[in-house]
Amino acid sequence: MSGFTLRLAQEGDAEAYHRVEDDATDLLREEPSLAGVPIPPTASAQDHAKVIAKGRSLTALVGNEIVGFAAAAPAGRELHLHELSVARAYQGRKIGATLLEALAVDARNSGYRAITLNTFRDIPWNAPFYARHGFVEVENLEGRPHLLEAHASDIALGLPAERRCAMIRFLD
């Protein structure tokens, strides 16, 4: 981990999470294939604080600056990744990949069976990125109400259903 460190998220990280996510979401706003697709607003600092309070989120820092995070919360015996974001100025340094791997190690050591998430199926830094890190698409959401709810919420926000998918990484 050259040039950055990771730690467990702290209550005071929520405002920085909001700023980092908002910055990283500009990539979606600028993605040509999403022209005309409404990009939902990013999570508020209050929403991030609620996820951080569940004790499973990780923060990436360069010096004392928060530059990325993995916001996750339990969903039964699975850990659901609500958001993985890295500030654009720090992308390409393997911070996101390291956050994801650290989250998997922590989840496995804590007894979780898998990590789940919802994402864009066809955006290179979404589903293809997660697939390179051991995630597979969930074909049937039955039995995973948190994934079904997240998918329904995405659709209600105007995201195209055919471009969204749920993914899972089993932690054998």
What domains are there in the chain, each with its CATH number? 5-170 (3.40.630.30)
The pLDDT tens digits for 31-84 are: 999 999 999 999 999 999 999 999 999 999 999 999 999 999 999 999 999 999
- pTM exceeds 0.85, yes or no: yes
Average per-residue pLDDT for the chain: 95
Q: Would you call 89 exposed, middle or buried from its count of C-beta atoms within 10 A (0-12, 13-18, 19+)?
A: exposed
